[in-house]
Amino acid sequence: MSARELAWFKSSFSGTQGDDCVEIAVTEEAVHVRDSKDIARPTLAVRRDGWTRFVRFAAGG
């Protein structure tokens, strides 16, 4: 599936002024991450279990 076909949504922590915009799209295999200000750039894809560990670490637990 290409990045254009994914259902992207903006992080709840992204700024409201158009800055700090991070979007993610979730598939069965991975969580895809992109900068919404530059969607032509390659995206980062992380396996779902790796994403869960990252979020847990970032949350401090």
Mean pLDDT of 7-11: 85
Mean pLDDT of 10-33: 81
Q: How far is it, in rounded angstroms, from Cα 45 to Cα 56?
A: 17
Find the DSSP H helices in 1-61.
48-58
- Ranges of each domain in the chain: 3-58
More confidently predicted of 4 and 54: 54
* pLDDT for res 49: 95
**How many C-beta neighbours within 10 Å does residue 56 have?**
10
Q: How far is it, in rounded angstroms, from Cα 3 to Cα 42?
A: 9
Band (pLDDT 50/70/90 cuts) for residue 20 is low
Q: How far is it, in rounded angstroms, from Cα 54 to Cα 52?
A: 5
